[in-house]
Chain A
Amino acid sequence: MIEEKNWFSRFFDVFNYVVLVLIACLCILPLIHIIAVSFSSTAPSMGGFVTFWPIGFTMENYTRVIGAAAFHQSFLISLERTILGTAINLSLIVLVAYPLSKSSQEFKGRTIFLWIFLFAMMFNGGLIPTFLVVRKLGLIDSIWSLILPGAVQIWSIFLMMNFFRDLPKEIEEAALMDGASHWQILFYIFLPLSLPALATLALFAAVGHWNAWFDGAIYMTKAANYPLQTFLRTIVVQLDLSRLGVDPRDLAQLSNRSVKASQIIVTIIPILLVYPFLQRYFISGIRLGSVKG
């Protein structure tokens, strides 16, 4: 990095750090609060006394969430769905973005295809017809019902397409002159250069899969087939005590803010573990040697 020695630069650096630290604090506060609540006993959290440190420290909220056998099962289902789903998302993103990133001359009919994707991004038939299609394909209770309907992430495709377009043209021309096919250009040249974008979109897709609960709720008929977030929703049912047969034991379970909090933490942890891996690709610059223009 270029070194600057003047006073403005140094002031700016300090200012930069301070501002970023403040903002980071703002972002981390809610999480700390949730962690505190998740380790607290019910009464203090119900009373709203817990701020950033647990009151009445207990692990029982976590054991309740994690101990359930159904938890393990839905965890695995979500894991499988996320891995498979993200892989398919990324493949599609790359495969579709590459042709679309060519100009209309290089790729005849590009405009039509572009419109096909753009239109599909804006308009869709709605929940009921999509459900009927999924049902007709026999995908109810199948993990593919969670992966296929949303497999084509058009917004991400456009981002990737843009990224490809910004890559220096000379690289491609050089490769073409060497007689490379499109496949080779895509896989050996474009992909390695696009790691930051790929990592971003992969994370976006993965988080989407991990957090999704509604599709699990409607496409699965049995609780045994629920992905993680759908299962967790059974633990924290919609709080409307006007309709339920109110059994004191139920009350304690339904309204437990501490359990809700541990549910949230449990779902975030895998993401927090994966994120550092992908971070490398965002921060570091382009590693591969570039081509002299």
Chain B
Amino acid sequence: MKDAKITRRDFIRISSLVAGSAALAACSKATTVAPTAVPATEKPPEPTKMAAPTATQVVAPTAVPKPLTAEELLTQAGLPLPGAPNNPKGWKITFPALPEGMPLATPVTISSSRRVDSTVAFAAGDGVDNNHFTRYMKALLGIQWKAAWTWIAADDGDQKYNLAMAANDLPELCENVGGTILVKMYEADMVEDITDVFENTASQKWVKDKWAPYGNLPWAYASYKGRKMGWPYVERLIQNDKVMWIRQDWLDKLNLKAPTTLDELYTVASAFKKGELGQGAPGTTLGIAAQQDLGYSWYGSFDPIIGSIAGTLPGYWTEDENGNLATGSINPKMKDALTFLAKWYKEGLIPADFPTRPTAEAEKLIAGNQAGIHFTPSWDSGWGCAESKKNDPTAVWKPYDIPSGPAGKKKHWSNPFVGVVNPMRKGFQNAEAFIKQTNFMAEWGENPEYRCFNNPGIEGVTFEIVNDRISYISNLSFMKWAFGPVMGTGGGGVDPQRDLTNLKFREGWASVPEDQRDAEQLTYFDDPTGMAKLGVEASLLAGDVSEAEGIKNMYNSLPTATMVEMGTDLGTSGGTNSNLGTLATETYMGIITGQKPLGAFDEFVTNWKALGGDKITTEVNEWWATQK
């Protein structure tokens, strides 16, 4: 009887399982949201070196028709030209020569993952793979871009890459893959080797020459076992270089000059605090802004202080007297830096709650006019300083070079070739077309004479000219629609110097008489708040001193075995999330806030070495030996 019970129940269960699955399957078809087309089933690969006679730039007499220029191709495709060529106060965005063999007679399709956040908006009827940029690329180069999927920010982007890897369904081009996932991709052999294609196809003038001064840096993260495995993402050179922003009006009120040494900085900061010049409640004025990332961060950072005292930064590998690499985290001079900061903390010059303050919160101290000094990159003229001025119209900020300390003037230097790469899926057939596009975009986008860098877009589509000035249509931006390593949501490019080059070019417009300026030039010089000018000043300043003052992290490669084991990320923050990094931060914070005695540093050094620090040092120096 027992058997009878089981089989009957089983039968019921099995049949309902079948029925249930059928119901599920039926349900999944009745979706209210249209499923996407399965990505990446592109046409069978055509050899890209087609050289169909009509498409090449051969200047042959008579029978062969002249190759169309970029403008002609666009007009032929019915697309509007960029810039404002038709407006009396307009200007033209011109084009470089098209790459050889383009537009491709048989268009290719490339699927890519793509970051889309709130800064990206599309014109009516357009979408992420159907907009003016994609149409331009199709008309000019013969490349049809498709978005395999979109992501919003680093954490869900990372997850999606993980999932795509697990499903063995990476997009052909992966936009901005974070370093740690990159390693996994390399190890799993899912990435295309582009060493040869790069050698043959990358532009000498616009890519290779621009990267020549940096030696092996561009490929630090984008290569694996000596082969180039992806296209680097290149930041703007001074993106994260700090300048000292200081309240000039406070200085004037107290009859002080801007500090040039750390001791003078101390005097000024103390004077600010005592003077109660801030906008908050009494007693809340601070000497300097700070937040919880000590070694280096992108706002209100301490790296100029620590760097100028210790000559190195936590997590940075620099050469010691013997020519070996040693980490700044355990450098004995770090104690001096910590003592210095501990004194500041005790006297209330640094916000008492700085350990609880995430980086972005430091900005509040500036916008709220609580702090009069901060070490922040040059772009802050548009953010913290601007908000500060809105809240207190008498505020006057000025950027200065960082003060010098016992080790001179030293601060964090950004490796523009960050630990973020654009790898291509293994088996990617169109690497050549992709690199040709990148060449084209690098030249077009970064040679300021074409006026494409930071361009406002297309008249009538992304902006209008009103009263001889540019007026943007909502937050449409042509550059944000770009696929590939140049432009796009991340604002990447090829030449790290592109910002500075363009800035100097634009400053050159000052020599054009005002009545002859076009709308873009007029808008550029429009500066009611004075913030734009400040930004230019700060950028040029940072650019000038970048090389001399930057502490360079000499270890530029994928993490070593022990680094991976102890948990690390490839961020320039020196792996603060790793075991060792956490230990370091805990110790530093404890000493600065006075919760730990200075002796805790020595204890920390011993622990650091025992917990894998020594092993890492050995591994790093093994790598270093191969670099000499």
Contact = CB atoms under 8 A, between A and B. Distances in A.
State if A and B touch, Cβ cutoff 8 Å.
yes
B52 interface: no
B214 interface: no
B418 A243 contact: yes
A233 B167 contact: no
Contacts of B167: 131-132, 135
A239 B119 contact: no
A224 B127 contact: yes
A234 B118 contact: yes
B364 A248 contact: no
A244 B118 CA distance: 13
A244 B489 CA distance: 8
Given A141-B34, A244-B490, A131 B379 contact: no
A281 interface: no
Nearest to A259: B118
B279 interface: yes
Interface in A200-227: 214, 217-218, 220-225
B24 interface: yes
A172 B344 CA distance: 74
Contacts of A233: 152-153
Given A127-B159, A247-B454, A43 B492 contact: no
Contact of A44 (B28, B377, B391, B490): B391
A144 B163 contact: no
B512 interface: no
A4 interface: no
Interface in B272-331: 279, 297-299
Contact of A222 (B147, B163, B279, B418): B147
Given A137-B24, A238-B154, A245 B166 contact: no
B28 A139 contact: yes
A142 interface: yes
Interface string B453-492: 0100000000000000000100101000000000101111
Given A131-B166, A218-B163, A246-B491, A48 B32 contact: no
B363 interface: yes
B159 A43 contact: no
Given A46-B387, A144-B28, A234 B166 contact: no
Nearest to B33: A225
Contact of A143 (B32, B119, B166, B572): B32
A218 B159 contact: yes
B129 to A, nearest CB: 9
Given A131-B167, A142-B28, A255-B360, A43 B156 contact: no
A244 B491 contact: yes
A38 interface: no
A19 interface: no
A223 B152 CA distance: 9
A13 interface: no
A243 B235 contact: yes
A78 to B, nearest CB: 12
A214 B156 contact: yes
A198 to B, nearest CB: 24
Interface in B133-149: 147-149
B398 interface: no
A118 B156 CA distance: 30
A46 B152 CA distance: 23
A221 B148 contact: yes
A48 B454 CA distance: 32
B149 A221 contact: yes
A57 to B, nearest CB: 15
Nearest to B531: A248
B298 A241 contact: yes
Given A142-B35, A243-B490, A43 B387 contact: yes
B149 A222 contact: yes
Report, as a range, how many residues of chain B touch the other chain.
35 or more
Contact of A248 (B150, B155, B359, B382): B382
Given A142-B31, A243-B235, A236 B118 contact: yes
B376 to A, nearest CB: 10
A128 B31 contact: no
Contacts of B377: 246
A135 B166 CA distance: 11
A235 interface: yes
A46 B28 contact: no
Interface in A24-47: 42-44, 46-47
Contact of A234 (B117, B490, B535): B117
B415 interface: no
Nearest to A232: B118
Contacts of B35: 138, 140-142
A132 B166 contact: yes
Given A127-B163, A222-B150, A244-B490, A255 B383 contact: yes
B1 to A, nearest CB: 13
A47 B388 contact: yes
Given A225-B33, A245-B491, A251-B379, A48 B28 contact: no
A245 B492 contact: yes
A253 B390 contact: no
Nearest to A136: B167
A131 B162 CA distance: 11
A94 B28 CA distance: 24
A173 to B, nearest CB: 26
B118 A46 contact: no
A48 to B, nearest CB: 5
B80 interface: no
Chain A CB within 10 Å, residue with most, of B33, B364, B368 = B33
A218 B160 contact: yes
Nearest to A148: B24
A223 B147 CA distance: 11
A240 B418 CA distance: 14
Contacts of B404: none
A144 B235 CA distance: 40
A138 B7 CA distance: 32
A245 B383 contact: no
10 contacts: A135-B167, A140-B36, A141-B31, A221-B39, A222-B150, A234-B116, A240-B298, A245-B492, A253-B475, A255-B360
Shortest beta-carbon contacts, A-B, top 10: A245-B491, A43-B390, A47-B368, A221-B149, A248-B382, A242-B298, A46-B367, A238-B153, A47-B367, A235-B118
Interface of B: 24, 27-28, 31-36, 39, 116-119, 127-128, 147-156, 159-160, 162-163, 166-167, 235-236, 239-240, 279, 297-299, 359-360, 363-364, 367-369, 377, 379, 382-383, 387-388, 390-391, 418, 420, 454, 472, 475, 477, 487, 489-492, 532, 535, 572
Given A46-B367, A238-B155, A245-B492, 11 more contacts: A42-B390, A132-B166, A143-B32, A221-B148, A222-B36, A222-B128, A223-B128, A241-B298, A244-B490, A246-B239, A254-B119
